[in-house]
Amino acid sequence: MPPVWTDLAGAAALVKDGDLVALGGHTRQAPMALIRELIRQGRRDLGLITVPTGGLNVDLALGAGAVSRVHFAQVSLEEYGMAPNFRRAVEQGRLTLREYP
10 lies in some domain: no
7 domain-assigned? no
CA dihedral 88, 76, 48, 94 (to 10 degrees): -10
Mean pLDDT of 86-90: 97
- What is residue 51's predicted lDDT score, i.e. its pLDDT? 86
What integer is the mean pLDDT of 50-58?
91
Range of the domain at 89: 17-99
Residue pair 62/33 in contact (Cβ under 8 Å)? The answer is no
pLDDT tens digits for range 16-44: 999 999 998 766 788 999 999 999 999 99
pLDDT band at 50 (very low <50, low <70, confident <90, very high): very high
Number of domains, the chain: 1
Q: What is the pLDDT of residue 89?
A: 98
According to the model, what pLDDT value does residue 1 have? 67
Taking the C-alpha atoms of residue 38 and residue 75, their distance in angstroms, rounded to an integer, is 19
Q: Is residue 75 part of a domain?
A: yes
